[in-house]
A and B are shown apart, each in its own frame.
Chain A
Amino acid sequence: MLRATAALAAAPLAGCGLFDREDPERDDPLDPLLAATVRLAAEYDAVIAAQPALAERLTPLRDAHRAHAKALAQLIGRPASSLSASPVPSSPPGDPSAALAHLQAAEKAGQDQAAAACLAAPADRTALLGSITAARATHQEVLR
C-alpha cells in the first residue's frame, strides 16, 4: 500500500528519479530528514521521561514529529521499521529550563533542515516539507 501510494504521487513527474523511489535500497534525498525527524521525536521521549511535569506541554509536539516521520516515510516509500528510533545518544539536561532550551535548539536546527529540503524538493513534495518546516517554527513558540 505504501509503495503504491508513492508510485501514484510520483507518476506525474515523468523522467529522472521516477523509478528510483520504487526501490527501497536506493537513497532518497529525504532519508536524512526522515532519520532526523525520528530522532527529534526520541529527544522528546527522553525529556518527557526525565521531566514528567513537562509531559502535557511536550506530548503534542512529540506526536507531531511522529506524524511527520510517518508522512515522510510514506512519501519516500520507506517501511514502518524506518520509524523506530535508535536510543538518544546523550541523556537530556536535568533541569526543566535546560531541557526546554535543548529542545528549542533541536527544533531550530530541524526547521533549518526541513526548509532546505523544501527549497530543493520537486513540486510534489513541497507541501509536506513546508508544513514540517512551519510546524517546527511553531514548536519553538510553545517551548519559549
Chain B
Amino acid sequence: MTTAAEVLAAEHAAIYAYGVIGAHLTGAAATAARDAEAAHRARRDALGRQVVAAGATPTPADPAYALPFPVTDQASALRLAVQTEERTGAVWRSALATTSGDERQAALDALVDCAIRATRFRRAAGVTPATVTFPGRPG
C-alpha cells in the first residue's frame, strides 16, 4: 500500500540526491541533472498540495539522507542519478495500484519520466543497454 506520503518521502530524497549529484557534473550532464531536480521539485510540490487537500500535514524533508555510495566524481554522480531515478520510479509504480483516474495518470506520468531520465543518465554514463526490461520493478 503506497501512500502519497511515501511518494513524497521518495521525492524529498531524490531532490537531496540531486543537490549532491549536481556538484560533480559539468556541461550537458549538469543541465540534465538541473532539469531532473526541477522535475522532482514540481512532483514534490504537487504531492504536498495533495496531502494538504486530504487534510493531512506533508512530511518535511530530512536535513540529510544517507547516500548508497560516496559521490566523488562525474562517474559516481551519474551512477547515483540512475539509481535515484530507478528508486523514485519504483515508488511511483507501486502507487499505480492505490490510485485511479487523474491520480493514477499522474503516477504513470511520473514513472515514465523517471524511466526516461534513468535511460538518459545510463547513456551519459556509457552503460549498455541503456534500457531495462521492466522499469520500476524492484531488483
Give the size category of A's interface with B.
Answer: 20 to 34
| Whole-angstrom CA separation of A67 from B131 in the bound complex | 13
Check: B87 CB closer than 8 A to any chain A CB. no
- Count of B interface residues, CB-CB < 8 Å: 28
- Name the A residues within 8 Å of B96 (CB-CB): 118, 123, 126-127, 129-130
- Name the B residues within 8 Å of A111 (CB-CB): 112
Q: Which of A61, A124, A129, A133 contacts B131 (CB 8 A)?
A: A61
Q: Which of A60, A64, A127, A137 contacts B112 (CB 8 A)?
A: A137
**Which of B13-21, B48-56, B62-70, B103-111 is near enough to bind chain A?**
B103-111
- Name the A residues within 8 Å of B107 (CB-CB): 130
Q: A133-B112, A134-B89, A138-B116 are in contact. Are A64 and B137 (CB under 8 A)?
A: no
- Name the A residues within 8 Å of B105 (CB-CB): 119
- The secondary structure that dominates the A interface is helix
Query: Do A119 and B97 have beta carbons less than 8 Å apart?
Result: no
Check: B42 CB closer than 8 A to any chain A CB. no
Check: A139 CB closer than 8 A to any chain B CB. yes
Chain B interface residues (CB < 8 Å from chain A): 89, 93-94, 96-98, 104-105, 107-108, 111-112, 114-116, 118-120, 123, 129-137
Chain A interface residues (CB < 8 Å from chain B): 60-61, 63-64, 67-68, 71, 111, 115, 118-119, 123-124, 126-135, 137-139, 141-142
